[in-house]
Amino acid sequence: MKFTYMIQRPEMVRTFLQQQEFSKRTISAIKHNGALLVNGQPVTVRKQLAINDILEVFLSEETPSPNLNPFYDTLNILYEDSYLIIVSKSAQQNCAPSRDHLHFSLVEQVLGYFNDRKISLTPHIVTRLDRNTSGIVVLAKHGFIHHLMNQIKIDKKYLCICQGLLDGEGLIDAPIARHPESIIQRQVSRLGKASQTRYEALEHIGNRTLCEVKLLTGRTHQIRVHFQHIGHPLVGDDLYGGKDETYHHQLLRCIQISFIHPIKNQKIVINDRYDAIETIFNMI
């Protein structure tokens, strides 16, 4: 992966790279397995740059973890460029391998997609979803891009179906902490981290409510914990009080992602709301 810059003021290459958010780790990797060129000539990070110099940065090649087993299945790709790939995943799939589900994760599926196209890239998960939550997931095509994406604000919207009847709009403002008796489960606790979730009730379906949800913070299991907290657990969420005989995963789907692209400096909005509404209604 290559980046090209026209220099606007005299400074050292290392200083310039740090100003562009290149981490020490990335700069070190470039020195060992990448390249820095100024006006077409190889240089080190100690090179003094002059105005109008052209700096080319070739990122180091990455090698996927040997623990990843790429597999080949059709990806639902919503957006792709040289830096990012954004896909929609189904429920019952991990974003990354876990102790209980070693393979067939989304990151392994994306790695298979790269391999199938002879693309020498390693996917890095930027936004995660629980195994049993469906919808949009953002992956970076290099660790440096992953680092940049972690510096920016990413807005997310979800659809969910909760038990009981909700009306209008609301803000759930309740801190979330780990449950003292579980390494997985979370709970509302005054000792937890500040957590805010906005919701809007869209439609009643029997004794259930379809809601659009926006995260104002990003805590683990936030939507699931907050809806349990207000007495309306998500349908199918047996970890947080929504156990259902028909649905064995929470009816929760990420339907929109928006952010400012860290390289292109453009606003990116990825939305599969209409497909999501159809999908989530088909689950009822």
Do 164 and 145 lie in a common domain? Answer: no
Q: Write the CB contacts of 71 (distance below 8 Å, at least 6 apart in sequence).
A: 103, 104, 108, 109, 112
Do 54 and 73 lie in a common domain? Answer: no
Q: Is the pLDDT of residue 69 over 60?
A: yes
Is 261 inside any structural domain? no
Q: Which of 77-81, 117-121, 275-279 has the highest mean pLDDT?
A: 77-81
Tell me the CATH number at 15: 3.10.290
> Per-residue pLDDT tens for 76-98?
999 999 999 999 999 999 998 88
Is 266 inside any structural domain? no
Do 182 and 214 lie in a common domain? Answer: yes
Do 169 and 146 lie in a common domain? Answer: no
Is 264 inside any structural domain? no
% of the chain residues with pLDDT over 90: 78
- Predicted confidence at residue 74, as pLDDT, reads 92
Q: Count up the domains in the chain and report the number.
A: 3
Is 234 inside any structural domain? yes
Is 283 inside any structural domain? no
Q: Write the CB contacts of 25 (distance below 8 Å, at least 6 apart in sequence).
A: 143
Do 242 and 174 lie in a common domain? Answer: yes
Mean model confidence pLDDT for the chain: 92
Active-site residues, by number, are: 130
Tell me the CATH number at 199: 3.30.2350.10
Do 132 and 191 lie in a common domain? Answer: no
Q: Retrieve residue 177's tokens.
A: 């902490």
Is 51 inside any structural domain? yes
Do 184 and 123 lie in a common domain? Answer: no
Among 123, 151, 179, the domain-final residue is 151
Do 168 and 144 lie in a common domain? Answer: no
Average pLDDT over residues 162-186: 95
Average pLDDT over residues 170-192: 95
Do 238 and 159 lie in a common domain? Answer: yes
Do 123 and 85 lie in a common domain? Answer: yes
DSSP of 113-177? HHHHTT-----EESS---TT-EEEEEEESSHHHHHHHTTS--EEEEEEEEES---SEEEEE--EE
Do 220 and 245 lie in a common domain? Answer: yes
Q: Is the pLDDT of residue 133 over 70?
A: yes
pTM over 0.75: yes
Domain interval for residue 226: 155-254
% of the chain residues with pLDDT over 70: 96
Is 277 inside any structural domain? no
